[in-house]
A and B are shown apart, each in its own frame.
Chain A
C-alpha cells in the first residue's frame, strides 16, 4: 500500500490566470521522453525579503508568500468553496483527519523554483547517462497536491496580478481524493459519480450549477435532449451498485463501461437534485453501501421503491439531465469561520514549509531519484532551523522523524518520534512509524519465536492503540496491531478485540487488512468472527501473498470446524 499519494492535478483550480499545468524548468530534449514533473522548491528566506504569512482555519494551515489581501481572499474563497462541496458531499462522506492539511501559497518567479543545485544534479545525471546536458526533460508543477497517510499538503502558485478569488474552484480530482480517503471505503459508483458531477459543476456563476449531463458522448446527449424517446441503454441497478468483485466479473465491453460511468453520475445527480427526500436517501444508502454489498431490500428501505423502478426513473430523468443546467441552492450555510492573516512565526514556517518539503522527497524519489538529495537537504534545513532554535513542538518533532524515514535514515527517526509521541502529538502516522521501527528492532533480535511476552510487544501495541484515537484510522495500524497480537502470548481483552474488529469493519473491502485481523482472531479462538471477516472481503482484488494467506487460513478454519463437529 502506498504511503503517499501524489497528484499534479490541482487541489485548487483557477478559472482565470492562464495557469499551465506544469512549467518547463529545463530545456526540452527528446520529445519522446516523458517529462518528469517535480514539485517546486521554495526560495530560502535568506534569498528573499518577501515575508511568510500564516492562517490556520477550517482544518488547514496556510503558509503564504503572497500579499496579505491575496492570502485573505484566497483563504476566504477556499472556505466558501469547501462549504459548497459539503452541499454536494456531506462532511461524513469526506476524508476526516485530525492532522491539519497544509496549503502553501507562493507567487515567486517560477524560474526560481528549481534550485541551481538540482539543475546541476540533473545535468550531471544526464551526462552520466550519455545524454546531452540539456537532455533531461523536467517540468515543475506550479500547483501540486501531495498526500501522506494521515494528511495532505497542497502548493499553489498565484499570479497576484490576475488572481480573483471568485474564480477559484476546487478540482474534481481533489474531491475524489477526499472521497477516497473516507473510511469505510465509499462505493465506486458514489466516488465516480460525484467526481463527474463536480467536474461538470460551476460554482462561479450561481451557487452551484450543474451543467447538462453528457451521456456517453455529446452527440448521444444531443439526440436525447432533442428526442425524449431516443433509445438508451441503462444498466440494471444490481449492476450499477455491484461491489468491486462483482464488477470485475461483469462484461467489460467499452460501451458498457462508458454507460456505467455516465450512469453513476446520472444516479447521483438524480438523487441530489430530485428532492430532499431522495438526497437523504442517497446518503443513507451510500453509508450502507460503504459497509458492504447492498441488496435491493436495502435500497428499497432507503428510497421507498425497488431496483427496477430506479432504472425506470433514471431512464425518465435522463432526457432532462442532458437537456439543461440545474441550480442547487445550498440554503442557509453556516457563517464562514473567522480567520486572521498574520505574519508567520519561524516555528510555523519551519513546520508547515518543512512538511511540504518532506512530502516532496518521496515524490521526487519515485519520479527522479537523482534529484532526491537536494530535496532532502532542503527539508532538513528548513526543519532543523526551528529545532536548532529550541523548538520542541511535538508536531515539529513528528515531521522531523518522518522526514528521516523519507530520507532513508530510519535509524535517525526515533530520536524525534519518541518525544513527539511522548508529547501526545496528533499524528497517527508518527505513532505507526514508531511502532513499526520498534517491531522491526524486535524482530531483528534473532529467530522469530512463535509467541512473545506482552512486555516485549507492549511498546508496539500501545502507541498503535493511542493512534486509533486519532483520525484518520490507518489501515497500516490495524495490520501492525494484528501482527503484534498474533505473536503475543496474551490474548487481547474484549476492548482490544473490539479495536481489531473495528479495523475489519472499516477496511472490510481490503483483504490486506482483513487477513491479518482474521488471523489474529483465529489464533485467539475467535474462529466464527475470523470467518466472517474473511467472508466480508471475499472476492476483492489483492496480491498473491495475501490471497495465499487467506486460502490457507480458510483451510485451517474449515479443518478446525470439521474437527469440532
Chain B
C-alpha cells in the first residue's frame, strides 16, 4: 500500500493546476469613488501593474490603465515598471489619484583624490510619482514627483535670481556641479473644500518637512500653511472624507475590525450576517456610506469583492479575485476551533480532498511558519495542491496566535516545541473524534512546515514518532541557537523577534536547554523519513545545519531526502513550485509506506 497511486495526475495537468492555484489575484488595492459610482482596483496585466476602473451603473464601460510613469528618472532611462501602489483613492467622482511605491535609487559612490571610494554627497534619486487619471482613462499622467522638490543646499543660492531657479537651472547657470537632494513625498489627503486639491507633505532633503497643495487639474504646486494631520497607517482605518480614524484592524485567528464609527459598525454587522463563516473586510466607502466596498474571504474561495448598495440592500459582486478557481473545483476547506484539555484555544483549517486517492486519506499537518505567527489564511493554494494529491490537510494556528496567554508562558519557555507538537496531536485527535464519518488514516500522518514551522515539523517526528510518520521541512532551522543568534543580530542590537517572527526572549533565557530544543543534536531520534527543502545561500545557519543533519542521518544509515529550492521559490513562482511539489509527492510515495512497515518499536524522546 502506498500513499498515492503514482501518475494519477499527469505532469501537464499538475503543472497547470499549480500554475492556476498560484496565479496572482486579479485585484489588490481598491477604492470606490465619493459618489459610489466607480470602483478602481489594481490588477496584474501581462505581468505589469494596471488599474482597472469600472462604472457600477454601466459595467460595460470598464477601463484598464497601465501603471507606468511618464517621466524618465534622473540618470535612469530604463526603470522597471512599478509592481505595487502605495496609494489609490478617488479625489472626485471622476478623478483617481494613485502612487506607485516609492523607489530610492542611491547614486554611485564617488572617489576622493586618493582614489578611495566615498559616498556620493548628492541624491539619492527618489522616484515617488503621484499620478492621476480621469475616470474614462484619459488625461493620465504624473501630477507631482519627488524631483519637483529637488533641493540644493542653502549656500548654493547666492543671489536673488538663484532663489527663483530650479536646481537644474542653477547648475546650467553656474557651469559647475550643484549638490542636490530629493525629499520623500507623503500623501496627506484631499482638501475638503476642493477635492481636486491634493495635500502632500515633503520630508527629507535639506528642508524641514513642509506641506503643499497640488492642483490635480493643472499640476500646480503651492505651499500649504496648515498643519494637516498625517493619516495613520495600518492597523488604523482613516476616513478620508471625515478626516478621522474610524476603526482599527485587529489581528487574531480571524482578522477583524473594531469600528469606532457607528454606521460602519452597523454595515459590518449586516455584511457579517450576509456572509456567515467568512471574513468580511470593509475596504472603502462612498461619501455618504450609501455604497460600501468590501472583500470577502474564507471557505474554499480565494476571495471576492463586492459593493454593498444599502438602498436596495444588495451586495453587488464586482470582482472574483481568482475566477479561474471556482468553489466547485476546489477542495473544501473548513475552519475549526476548540479548547484543548488545558484550556488553550486551538484552531486552524482543514482542507479535505475532493477526490481522495485512498480511503481513508492520509493527513498532512502543517505547522505555522513563525511563533506565535500570523493566523493561517482561509484560502491556501498549497493546501489545495496537497489535497489534490489526496491528502487531508490540517493547517494549524499556534495557540498564542491571538496573543500569548500568561498561563502558557512557563510551558512555552520550557519547551516551545513540545507545546506546539502536543497541540498538533490534540488537533488530529479532535478532528478524528469530530468527523467520524470522514476518517483519515492514522497510520499516514505527515508533517510539513517552513522556517520555524519546518523545525516543528521535524520535532514532531522526534517527539511523537508513532503519530507523525514523515516530515517535510522548508528552510527549517535545525539548531535554534545559532539560527536565532544569526537572525537576531543586525550588527548592533538584538532584535526582539529575531527578524524571523519568533520572540527571542521566549526561547532564549538562562534556563534554555538548547540541546533539547535542537533537531540536529537529537538526530538519532529522527527515525521517520524526512525531506529537507532548502533554498541555498539564503540563510547560512540553515545551510550549515541542514548539511550537518544530512551527514549525521547518513551515518545512522537513513539519509534524508534533500531538495534544493530554486531561487524563485520564495517569491512563489509557480514553475519553481511544481518541482518542489513533485519532489514531495515522490518522497511521500516512496518513503512513507516502507518506513511505516519498518517502524517497529520506537522510543519517544524524553
Contacts and interface: CB of A to CB of B under 8 A. Distances in A.
Interface of A: 223, 227-236, 238-239, 250-251, 253, 255-256, 259, 274, 296, 304-309, 311-313, 315-316
Contacts of A306: 276-277, 299
Contacts of A238: 273-274, 276
B299 A312 contact: yes
B276 A229 contact: no
Contact of B313 (A230, A250, A296, A316): A250
B586 interface: no
B296 interface: yes
Contacts of B54: 231
Given A231-B318, A233-B314, A309-B299, A223 B276 contact: no
Given A255-B312, A305-B332, A308-B299, A316 B317 contact: no
B302 to A, nearest CB: 10
Interface string B518-557: 0000000000000000000000000000000000000000
Most A Cβ at <10 Å: residue of B54, B317, B320: B317
Contacts of A311: 275
A236 B316 contact: no
B296 A308 contact: yes
Interface in B226-247: none
Q: Report, as a range, how many residues of chain B touch the other chain.
A: 20 to 34
B70 interface: no
Interface of B: 54, 56, 59-60, 273-278, 296, 298-301, 304, 309, 311-320, 323, 326-328, 332
Most A Cβ at <10 Å: residue of B314, B319, B332: B314
Contacts of B317: 231-234, 315
Contacts of A235: 314
Contacts of B274: 236, 238-239
Contact of A259 (B273, B314, B327): B314
Contacts of A308: 275-278, 296, 298-299
B313 A256 contact: yes
Contact of A307 (B276, B300, B332): B276
Contacts of B276: 238, 296, 306-308
Given A238-B274, A312-B301, 15 more contacts: A223-B59, A227-B60, A228-B323, A229-B319, A231-B316, A231-B317, A238-B276, A239-B274, A253-B313, A256-B313, A296-B276, A296-B277, A306-B277, A307-B277, A308-B296
A313 B328 contact: yes
A51 to B, nearest CB: 58
Contacts of B318: 231
Most B Cβ at <10 Å: residue of A233, A234, A259, A313: A233
B146 to A, nearest CB: 37
A316 B327 contact: yes
A206 B89 CA distance: 54
A230 B299 CA distance: 23
A229 B56 contact: no
A304 B328 CA distance: 12
Contact of A229 (B311, B323, B327): B323
Contacts of B323: 228-229, 316
Contacts of B301: 309, 312
B56 A231 contact: yes
22 contacts: A223-B59, A223-B60, A227-B60, A229-B319, A231-B317, A231-B318, A233-B314, A233-B316, A238-B276, A256-B312, A256-B314, A306-B276, A307-B277, A308-B278, A308-B298, A309-B332, A312-B299, A313-B326, A313-B328, A315-B304, A315-B320, A316-B327
Contacts of A316: 320, 323, 326-328
A2 B246 CA distance: 56
A313 B316 contact: no
Contacts of B299: 305-306, 308-309, 312
Given A229-B320, A238-B274, A305 B313 contact: no
Contacts of B312: 233, 251, 253, 255-256
A223 B54 CA distance: 15
Contacts of A251: 312-313
Contacts of B59: 223, 230-231
B135 to A, nearest CB: 16
